[in-house]
Chains A and B, each alone.
Chain A
Amino acid sequence: MNELINEIIEGRYHNDLRHYDYLELLSLHKKLWKRKHDLKGQPIKIAIIGSKSIQLFVKTIEVLLISRGYLPEIYEGEYNGIISEIINDDSDLYKFSPQYTIILTHHTDIHTYPPLLSSHTELKSWISDHTRYYQQLHEKLESLNCCVIQSLFVVPDIQVLNQLESNVLYSENMLLKMLNIELVMNKKPFVHYIDLDTLASSIGKRKWFDHKGYYLHKAPFDYEYLPDVAHLFVNRIDSLEGRIKKCIVLDLDNTLWGGVIGDEGAQGININQSDPIGEAYLDFQKYLLQLKDRGIVLTICSKNDEDNAKSAFIENENMILKLDDIAVFKANWDDKASNIQLIADELNIGVNSLVFVDDNPAERQIVRQFLPTVCVIELDDDPVNYKQNVNDALCFDWPTLTREDLNRVDTYKDNARRLSMSQSFVNYDDYLKSLEMEASLKEVTHDDISRYVQLTNKSNQFNLRTMRLQENQVLSMLKDDHYKLLYVTLKDCFSSFGIISCLILKKDGDICFIENWLMSCRVLKRDVEVYVLNQLVLIASKWGCTQLVGEYIPTTKNKMVENFYPSLGFVQNGHLYELNLDHYESKKTYIKGDV
Chain B
Amino acid sequence: MDLRAELQALFQDFFEDEDLILEDHLTAEDIEDWDSLAHIGLIATIEKKYNIKFATAEISRLKNVGELISLTKKALE
Q: Which residues of A contact B (CB under 8 A)?
A: 23, 26-27, 30, 55-56, 212-213, 215-217, 219, 223
A-B contact pairs, 9 of them (CB 8 A): A23-B41, A23-B45, A27-B14, A56-B40, A212-B55, A212-B59, A216-B60, A217-B40, A219-B40
Which of B16, B48, B56 is in CB contact (< 8 Å) with A215? B56
The answer to the question of B44 belonging to the interface, with a C-beta cut-off of 8 Å to chain A, is: yes
Report B-chain residues with C-beta under 8 Å of the C-beta of A217: 36, 40
* Contacts A215-B56, A216-B59 given; does A223 touch B37 at CB 8 Å: no
Q: Is the CB of B41 within 8 A of A216?
A: no
Closest to B42 in A: A23
Q: Is the CB of B44 within 8 A of A23?
A: yes
Measured between alpha carbons, how far is A212 from B41 in the docked complex, in Å? Answer: 14
Q: Is the CB of B41 within 8 A of A26?
A: yes
Measured between alpha carbons, how far is A222 from B43 in the docked complex, in Å? Answer: 14
Q: Is the CB of A212 within 8 A of B56?
A: yes
Report A-chain residues with C-beta under 8 Å of the C-beta of B37: 55-56
B 17-42 contacts with A by CB, 8 A: 36-37, 40-41
> What distance in Å separates the Cβ of A445 from its nearest Cβ neighbour in chain B?
49
> What distance in Å separates the Cβ of A369 from its nearest Cβ neighbour in chain B?
32
Q: Which residues of B contact A (CB under 8 A)?
A: 14, 16, 36-37, 40-41, 44-45, 48, 53, 55-56, 59-60
Q: Is the CB of B44 within 8 A of A223?
A: yes
A-B contact count (CB 8 A): 25
Measured between alpha carbons, how far is A26 from B38 in the docked complex, in Å? Answer: 10
Measured between alpha carbons, how far is A56 from B40 in the docked complex, in Å? Answer: 10
Report B-chain residues with C-beta under 8 Å of the C-beta of A55: 37
Report A-chain residues with C-beta under 8 Å of the C-beta of B41: 23, 26, 56
Measured between alpha carbons, how far is A143 from B53 in the docked complex, in Å? Answer: 47
Report B-chain residues with C-beta under 8 Å of the C-beta of A30: 16
Closest to B37 in A: A55
Measured between alpha carbons, how far is A55 from B77 in the docked complex, in Å? Answer: 34
> What distance in Å separates the Cβ of B65 from its nearest Cβ neighbour in chain A?
19
Q: Is the CB of B48 within 8 A of A23?
A: yes
Q: B37, B40, B59, B60 — which one has the most chain A CB atoms within 10 A of its CB?
A: B40
Which of B48, B53, B56 is in CB contact (< 8 Å) with A216? B56
> What distance in Å separates the Cβ of A520 from its nearest Cβ neighbour in chain B?
47
Report B-chain residues with C-beta under 8 Å of the C-beta of A23: 41, 44-45, 48
Report B-chain residues with C-beta under 8 Å of the C-beta of A212: 53, 55-56, 59
> What distance in Å separates the Cβ of B9 from its nearest Cβ neighbour in chain A?
15
Closest to A21 in B: B48
Measured between alpha carbons, how far is A152 from B41 in the docked complex, in Å? Answer: 27
Measured between alpha carbons, how far is A23 from B48 in the docked complex, in Å? Answer: 10
Measured between alpha carbons, how far is A27 from B45 in the docked complex, in Å? Answer: 11
Report A-chain residues with C-beta under 8 Å of the C-beta of B44: 23, 223
Closest to B45 in A: A23
> What distance in Å separates the Cβ of B34 from its nearest Cβ neighbour in chain A?
13
Task: Apart from A27-B14, A216-B56, A223-B40, list 7 A-B contacts with CB within 8 A.
Answer: A23-B41, A23-B48, A26-B41, A55-B37, A56-B40, A213-B40, A223-B44
> What distance in Å separates the Cβ of B39 from its nearest Cβ neighbour in chain A?
8
Closest to A214 in B: B56
Measured between alpha carbons, how far is A55 from B36 in the docked complex, in Å? Answer: 11
Report A-chain residues with C-beta under 8 Å of the C-beta of B16: 30
Closest to A34 in B: B16
Measured between alpha carbons, how far is A209 from B59 in the docked complex, in Å? Answer: 18
Report B-chain residues with C-beta under 8 Å of the C-beta of A213: 40
Closest to B33 in A: A30
Report B-chain residues with C-beta under 8 Å of the C-beta of A215: 56
Report A-chain residues with C-beta under 8 Å of the C-beta of B53: 212
Report A-chain residues with C-beta under 8 Å of the C-beta of B56: 212, 215-216
Measured between alpha carbons, how far is A23 from B42 in the docked complex, in Å? Answer: 9
Closest to B59 in A: A216
Measured between alpha carbons, how far is A26 from B14 in the docked complex, in Å? Answer: 11
Report B-chain residues with C-beta under 8 Å of the C-beta of A27: 14
Measured between alpha carbons, how far is A298 from B59 in the docked complex, in Å? Answer: 53
